[in-house]
Structure 1
Amino acid sequence: MALNLDRRLFLSLAAAGAGTAALTACDGPATGGTSGTPEAAALDFSGIKPAASIDFWSNHPGKSQEVEKATIAKFEAKYPDIKVNLVTAGANYEEIAQKFQTAQAAKSGLPALVVLSDVWWFRYYLNESIIPLDSLVKQLDIKLDDFRTSLVEDYQYDGKQWALPYGRSTPLFYYNKDHFAAAGLPDRAPATWQEFAEWAPKLKAASGAQFAFMHPALAGYAGWTLQNNLWGEGGSWSKDWDITCDSDASVAALQAAQDSVYKDAWAGVSSKESADDFAAGLASATLSSTGSLIGILKAATFNVGVGFLPGGTKETTGVCPTGGAGLGIPSGVSPEEQLAAAMFLQFVTEPENTAAFSAATGYMPTRVSADMTSVLAKTPQIKIAMDQLEVTRVQDNARAFLPGADQEMAKAAAKILTQEADVKATMTELKATLEGIYAKDVKPKLKA
């Protein structure tokens, strides 16, 4: 039976989407092979006793270690027979993914619950490394209909639920309100990048900052945030499985980004974390995850403004990707561990706990019924992120589903933004690389 792929589900892989919260489902490619473990349809946890101890692997997205510890303490108070060991399995999504892959290869040392980033969970599905959650959802009566629709559907494939949303985010436009006021600019994010390019010289002259704008670190998630630039100019990394990073529109968008650094000289490129550079006052504005919000507000000594991502000459809405991570349960651990992990997963994603996680980090509350009143009273900027969720767009297949593509995009972006490489030639080379990944690692798994 052909497996229709809802592209919304790929949003979790993802960054961008056509109205995430109001997204309509559309059919995508069908994949062959098994659905998770060969016995996926037969998973049955009736009569299983939850394990007494489980490991939870996290990279603590949004500097969430303390709120994770607090949630675990609450869980253990409610379920004293289950101990949850919080393991720092990496400093970022890539490190935790590499550690997880190593444990899978060794067939030992696997966690019972693991953070899965937007560009990693689908390959775990293909590799049969995670289990479908459906029988656990039913047995534990997890209220899927109370999750934000687009976020929970991001992890649905072949009619099954493969993870649940955890630290979900969009990029935000962060700006220094004091700098904007000194430059005589409106107290808002620019409507387009072209408008910001007009503002940039005023910002540099009035603020004393080194840069008007700081591009996010390329070693991080350049392929994620650059989708905003591409979409605004009518470009993309891909259209379905057609690689389009070398199209005229895509090249024009990336040429504008390069010009901001070299020709017009109002932008810099962060070497590590643009949120930290912005909070330190090195730049008047940047793009960073909603998961950076609380950290920026705590670190900055100036008034911080946030807004929707700017559009371009072709598109001014639907130019924001979503991203972040979910939580999944490995197939290589015992049913007892899987059940205990599902109980903790249910607890973590309950409305009260997702509101607390949002308050501590700035990530999206994943449950509709989460009471955000006190959170928004303290941190009203989170409402901007929640509102922007309504105008996001499903990210391009090339970033979400091609294994290793995000790293290749980052390498190409580094050439363009830090080495002033020819944009067209770099994108032509990237296209060949991405098409090679598709032909080798994805196409053989797709049904006609």
Structure 2
Amino acid sequence: MNKVELLAPAGDLERLKIAFTYGADAVYIGGEIFGMRSAAKNFTKEDMTEGVNFAHERGKQVFITINIIPRNEEFEQLKSYLLDLDEIGVDAVIVSDPGVFAFVKETLPNMEIHISTQASTTNASAANFWYSQGAKRVVMARELSFKEIKELKDNCPDDMDIEAFVHGAMCMSYSGKCVISNYTTGRDANRGACAQPCRWKYTLVDEVSKGKFEPVVEGIDASFFFNSKDLCMIEHIPQIIKSGITSLKIEGRMKTAYYVATTVRAYRMALDEYYKNPEHWKFNPMWLNELKKGSHRDYNTGFYLNKPNSNAHNYESASYIRNYDFIGIVRGHDLKKNLVIVEQRNKMNVGDKIEVIGPFKNTMKATIIEMYNENDETIESAPHARQIVKMKLDIEVDVDYMLRKPIVTINTI
């Protein structure tokens, strides 16, 4: 059975390595230029080289985003950038602009090209056009249902890959084509600098009623009426695969290493369980619960099951939901003292009851019994960002395991 690809985001080298460690088959990353996430840390040439080597040693792949809409003067720089990517050995480039597509074909005839979701591919004719020009993969517009994707796939060549977003933030504009950020802040969303004004609070004024404030949704103070809920399709693995999608894409190059680990891990578990017995796959609520232990907005199914209605937006708040703090990542062991070496990410204390996650492992519960600083001095808490601590836990953990603890809300009433 040909298994689908699990494709993860990586905003830097650490997240790339975490994505592969936790079960991704491929990652998509951006270099320091030509990507749609200019605010992400992104990859230098040196980091990209290390990341590609890390991937290839494990039989994995790395795709590079070149999906902005460039200006004339940028094509000279694009040529040298493409030659660098070829030298590094990246597996594919992701493009949305026809001019960039043609330029890649001319400069690197053997480079695999994927058509970005920004190209708004919604039909088989468009997909076949890109295939006839030499594209290996087409990323679906986010506005398609399972039925539409299956119809498209059934009318395209068997060896053309179909990629689709299955998890992460949703853009309120059609396939990400938004000019609100440019208008309000001068930051061009189509060149990787979106200020996310769709998450801001607004007031709607009815001009006909002489400045009367009108509710967008009856009975709700809908101040965040552009604010889309996050996409989550982990409950629909069989439908995803049967629709013909061959690559399941997770959104989030701006997200943390913890987000990458928790999301990849949950989808990896769900996919692996599916392939054990496809006809009798059963959704495990634990997978969704794990996704909810990362920072997220309320979830919905986007366009996959039907056209979204008012339930696809959160009109009352644009805040993320955070029920757990990511407190540390295991970096190694002090074998002489039988201690775990942890890089702190949020405050932790001796006595904390925590959870530990690892790749291809069920969630474990643990207690921090003892902690020491880098000078082996006893400490009761680790409050400093990214400080290295040694600790004694009541379970065994490995490198790259992640520690988290519930956020305790104190009722002051």
TM range (shorter): under 0.3
Q: TM-score, normalised by structure 2?
A: 0.24
More helix by share: 1
Q: TM-score, normalised by structure 1?
A: 0.23
Larger Rg over CA atoms: 2
More strand by share: 2
Larger RCO: 1 or 2 (CA < 8 Å, sep 6+): 1
